[in-house]
Amino acid sequence: MIKILILKFSALGDVVHTLPVAATLRRSLPDSHIAWMVEERYQDILRDNPDIDEVIPLRTKVWRKNWNGKSLGEILDTIKTLRQHNFDFVLDLHGLLKSGIIARLSGAPTRVGFHRKNCKEKVSTLFTNRKAPFMAGGIHVVDMYLTLLQSALGKITETRLFPLKVPDEADEKIATFLDQHPDLTSRPIIAINPGAGFESKQWELIRFAELADRISEELKCSVMLTWGPGEEFKVQQISDHMQQPKWIAPPTSILESIALYKRMSLLVSCDSGPLHLSAAVDIPTVSIFGPTDPVRNGAYGTKHETVYKVLSCSFCWKKTCPLGTKECMNQVTVDEVFQAVKNHQQIKNQLS
């Protein structure tokens, strides 16, 4: 039996984008043992995934905050667990120093990684011994991951599936919430998610409020404001600035949020985990991009519209704007995003 380890620790959207790798492995090597090392807080995404035999959680966020003897012991136990598996292949889908080190510590004889020019931290190439070809711009990260997989296995039939299982209890929680708000469900629901992984990717909250009012008043749709951990104040600020009816989503786990988005007609979001979760479960999206490249990191599939500006400094990938202006996000207007929502075929069909 071939034993394979996938290294994709975070973040939420990146883990979602890696699901086709596992799906392709399962169909190419049906008798293999496929393990996935992922940050503990994202492991629910892989729950009941038919393509994964084992999930190995990492607690790097906890370890960094609580560096002590217990943390060291957990790290050593994790390394021991990796060595005991006797993996044949490791796929480093990060291109980071830490992922490279973990790939090497696994003891796997074949360690596949990105070309040096595609690595976020080029030193990681010291720890891999089989490299994917260089991939220039214009390729979505999902396809980049599958190209790396071909470097490990040769010519394979790629399978672009995103299995995300929602347990009954999560589905029932969301169904109960919606049943309690008949005014919300009386019209098509458009979700607005204002959060993003870092500050430079965020659109102004006041603009989200203006957009939500227009969606409610002009398109006659209900507006659901969604949020993740630490983001409730954002949707509250949007709500406070709105004139039209709106609903704030209840607190949700990752799996509960999938159940929620599956009931939406459309999601409006910046580059965020919920954007990619929605795309993975076939929910249409309209997204706002600035410092990240929508061609590489946009919603994957055909039901999606992206609003962005191409400036001389576009796609810098910086967590804070180097110019201090966030010009790439600020130049995207409410009217442009509203028109993208209005023109979306899914909404047209529901309103016709």
pLDDT tens per residue across span 90-140: 999 999 999 999 999 999 999 999 999 999 999 999 999 999 999 998 999
| Residue 156: per-residue pLDDT | 87
| Residue 76: per-residue pLDDT | 80
Contact 259, 170 (CB under 8 A): yes
**pLDDT > 70? residue 351:** no
Phi, then psi, of 186 in degrees rounded to 5: -75, -15
- Encoding tokens for residue 31? 């008798």
The DSSP bridge partners found for residue 126 are none
| Residue 59: per-residue pLDDT | 85
Phi, then psi, of 159 in degrees rounded to 5: -120, 110
Give the position of tokens 């209840």: 250
User: pLDDT digit string (tens) for 188-237?
Assistant: 999 999 999 889 999 999 999 999 999 999 999 999 999 999 999 999 99
Q: Which of 274, 202, 265, 208 is nearest to 236 (CA)?
A: 208
266 confidence band (pLDDT: 50, 70, 90)? very high
Q: Which of 267, 275, 279, 271 is nearest to 347 (CA)?
A: 267
**pLDDT > 70? residue 254:** yes
154 confidence band (pLDDT: 50, 70, 90)? confident
Q: Which helix (H) or strand (E) holds 136?
A: none
346 confidence band (pLDDT: 50, 70, 90)? low
Q: 33-39 and 54-58: which strand pairing?
A: parallel
In three-state secondary structure terms, 91 is strand
Percentage of the chain beyond pLDDT 90 is 85
CA-to-CA distance for 230 and 304, rounded, in angstroms? 27
347 confidence band (pLDDT: 50, 70, 90)? low
Domains of the chain in sequence order: 3-153 (3.40.50.2000), 168-351 (3.40.50.2000)
**pLDDT > 90? residue 77:** no
Phi, then psi, of 230 in degrees rounded to 5: 80, 5
CA-to-CA distance for 116 and 133, rounded, in angstroms? 9
Write the DSSP string, 312-330. TT-----SS-TTSS-HHHH
| Residue 24: per-residue pLDDT | 97
Percentage of the chain beyond pLDDT 70 is 96
**All residues at 6 or more sequence positions from 113 whose CB lies less than 8 Å from its CB, including other chains:** 92, 95, 100, 103, 119, 124, 125, 127, 128, 130, 131, 132, 148
| Residue 259: per-residue pLDDT | 98
Q: Where are the beta strands (DSSP E) in the chain?
A: 3-7, 33-39, 54-58, 89-92, 110-113, 130-131, 189-193, 222-225, 247-248, 266-270, 285-288, 304-307
* Average pLDDT for 22-40: 96
| Residue 153: per-residue pLDDT | 87
Q: What does pLDDT average to over the chain? A: 94
Most confident by average pLDDT, 79-83, 156-160, 178-182: 178-182
348 confidence band (pLDDT: 50, 70, 90)? low
| Residue 66: per-residue pLDDT | 73
In three-state secondary structure terms, 277 is helix
**pLDDT > 80? residue 350:** no
- Number of Cβ atoms within 10 Å of the Cβ of 247: 20
| Residue 319: per-residue pLDDT | 93
| Residue 73: per-residue pLDDT | 74
Pairs from 297-304 (Cβ < 8 Å, separation ≥ 24): 297/13, 297/140, 297/141, 297/271, 298/140, 298/271, 299/275, 300/17, 300/140, 300/142, 300/160, 300/276, 303/279, 303/346, 304/279
Write the DSSP string, 330-345. HTS-HHHHHHHHHH-H
Query: For residues 195-234, b (16+ Cβ closer than 10 Å) or e, as one string?
Result: bbbeebbbbebebbbbbbbbbbeebebbbbbbbbeebeeb
**All residues at 6 or more sequence positions from 255 whose CB lies less than 8 Å from its CB, including other chains:** 44, 47, 165, 166, 167, 170
